[in-house]
Chains A and B, each alone.
Chain A
């Protein structure tokens, strides 16, 4: 009886998962509902054999009616009365059958637990980044943003998954496709957009622009391809030096992966056991050059040679999170650097001056959008497993749009920086001095 009840319950809860399995999708995409009893001190867990070899925890939160289902070990008691909607407060997911591993005996956990709050947070963050990038596209076409603008839409799961796996006291450095990280590291949207439009309210007062945004424990935003990698290892060296158990995430792309300085950095990071996670965001194209045309080996997670590596689905925020947690633990244990390759995709071209279709097909872009969009993946996961409702997520969408609109409004109305700013910040912690302008009679004051 108990077995039947359990089986029935898991069938019901697994509804979409069973359907997906029937549709022939791979096990790594099948969701398993996780239930964890919220009110009891201990977690009730039981195993149902034959379902993807995963452990099921029992949690059911009945939304709106106040009635709770009690799950005790091996059993199910209680009743649901009058509940119109049932939300789980927790979801356990099989994220990957197995990551591709290089010089690692075992990889990250193949199951991830995501609470409702976490899911909503990831969703909101990714959606904010998506809409922020699309707004930037719009502002660029209106010529309100100028110069270079490299957009991150499509890759949101990477920066969000990484950020939630590390601590705010950890360090991050990346290349020029940096708006997503800038936001994830804590810079408000309005300051990012105002920086793009070159206003004094920008996060670096309009002096840096798209590729040079910084905040605490975030070192940009770097324009020279590959140069940020030795910098990241240097930050990791400082982390080790100060002994505060901090690590550095050092990001680069598939194009940058062929830079010599990266290999020099691998060598020194491994030699000195620096707490550095090298992360290759492989979006398949370095500007207009596909990975096959640029790299003799496209197994970027193996390119660290003596550095252990793992390759991860970068479109799944939970995969990224679990892998990053694994990597962070590895580094914090003092084992030295580790390399992560995130397989991801950018919808836009390399920059706003690249239409992005001369070296790849519209069909390819469309296919990724329809099958692997990170936000859609998360949304489906949450809705299909009753972690949230479609309406709830739509409300988040509306709130995000509003935030972006307000930020854009700020970014287009805030004044440009004052001319006096031109000479400032040449040096750090230096008494003021004079700076020469375009001729000897034009002088600016330089204040640190």
Chain B
């Protein structure tokens, strides 16, 4: 509860007016401190942007394990196209942070080969749209090799970069690849939302001995989130394959990943004023998907709305719906599950068109009300 309260407060810079929730947990402790002058041993939470969280994770993992190195376009001397790797080349040098030419297929293959030979590369795609140039190496070389070699060759590699829509970058730069990579056995696919997610999942991904695709979001890079003291520790990892309930609720389950998690929380705040309590689940991992958390929630709320930025056909939401149908939670649904997705078109450039191609808070609210028949 405190975490979601914190998350909601963090959305305030986005200009969203939120319902006030009574402070609980750490926040309550601070309030007590202020009013009564009582010193509690409240841990110091700080505001950290997703960008800085990723930067910290990379820094810590580069320091911890000398087999870890970063390669990609502009990651070294330019400090990263989106400044995620700021300062790292200066600190670790040419051997650990490598600028590549614009040769995705080539450098991805090189990274995978390095992983097969025992290094632990972090391969950055400037955006995941460019990973399509290299996708053969990601799937056929990285994802399948452990299986094909009956476990004798591991590929401990992380592919990371911004995924999905940004702002006004048009069709070739706005695609979401969650469904594409989530489709493939042999890969793990994670999709962080908050700074904690970003840092914890990147650290977990680098420490994982399997190829991990980490789908970040450019619009989240500059957004600050509260990070607990625990999350600030150098050994903080977020387990891959475990979803997080960002907000408890009773009437409907909203399942999402990446930036739309924030939209879901906004929608939940609006709906709460009307007496509808949404349970918001942040998937955190696309593959292996934590369907159990979703099922348990659906059993409780009896209604399901999935929210994602990608296209509807064969998407993350489609998978969730299918799995719910296959599992025990199906019998607890009082209405068909509903998907909120990106519009089924290549992303247009003009602002009015683009705005209507991504799931908005109003679309989520509409879907919830349709599901609940209100």
> Which residues of A are in contact with B by a Cβ distance under 8 Å?
146-148, 195, 198-200, 202, 205-212, 222-227, 255-256, 258-261, 286-289, 293-295, 358-359, 416-417, 419, 421-423, 426, 435-442, 444, 446
Contact = CB atoms under 8 A, between A and B. Distances in A.
Contacts of A260: 103, 105-106
Given A209-B168, A435-B343, A436-B344, A258 B352 contact: no
B340 A147 contact: no
B290 interface: no
Interface stretch (B71-79, B139-147, B148-156): B71-79
Contact of A293 (B81, B99, B129, B130): B99
Given A206-B348, A211-B172, A288-B77, 6 more contacts: A209-B170, A210-B349, A261-B105, A287-B73, A294-B101, A423-B343
A211 B358 CA distance: 21
Given A146-B167, A147-B167, A439-B366, A223 B173 contact: yes
A436 B343 contact: yes
Classify the interface of chain B: helix, strand, loop or mixed.
loop
Nearest to B106: A260
A287 B170 contact: no
Nearest to A424: B345
Interface in B299-357: 312, 338-346, 348-353, 356-357
B348 A258 contact: no
B356 A258 contact: no
B351 A198 contact: yes
Contacts of A207: 348-350, 353
Given A437-B343, A438-B341, A439-B341, A259 B102 contact: yes
A260 B105 CA distance: 8
Contacts of A441: 366, 370
Interface residues of B, number: 48
Given A258-B101, A260-B103, A416-B352, A438 B78 contact: no
B367 interface: yes
A208 B106 contact: no
Nearest to B79: A358
Most A CB within 10 A of own CB, among B312, B344, B351: B344
Contacts of B171: 208, 212, 223
B208 interface: no
B169 interface: yes
B90 to A, nearest CB: 13
B194 interface: no
B120 to A, nearest CB: 24
Contacts of A210: 170, 349
Contacts of B99: 289, 293-294
Contacts of B103: 258-260
B349 A198 contact: yes
B173 A148 contact: yes
Contacts of B33: none
A437 B78 CA distance: 39
A288 B345 CA distance: 33
Contacts of A421: 348, 353
B164 to A, nearest CB: 14
Nearest to A256: B102
A287 B78 contact: yes
A212 B339 contact: no
B121 interface: no
B60 interface: no
B308 to A, nearest CB: 10
Given A287-B81, A435-B345, A438-B343, A255 B102 contact: yes
B129 A439 contact: no
Contacts of B130: 224-225
A255 B103 CA distance: 9
Nearest to B103: A258
Contacts of B370: 439, 441
Closest 8 CB pairs of A and B: A147-B168, A209-B349, A206-B350, A198-B350, A146-B168, A223-B172, A288-B78, A258-B101
A212 B169 CA distance: 10
Interface in B102-156: 102-103, 105-106, 129-130, 132-133
8 contacts: A206-B353, A288-B78, A358-B78, A359-B78, A416-B351, A419-B353, A437-B356, A444-B343
Interface string B350-374: 1111001111100100110010000
B353 A422 contact: yes
Contacts of B170: 147-148, 208-212, 223
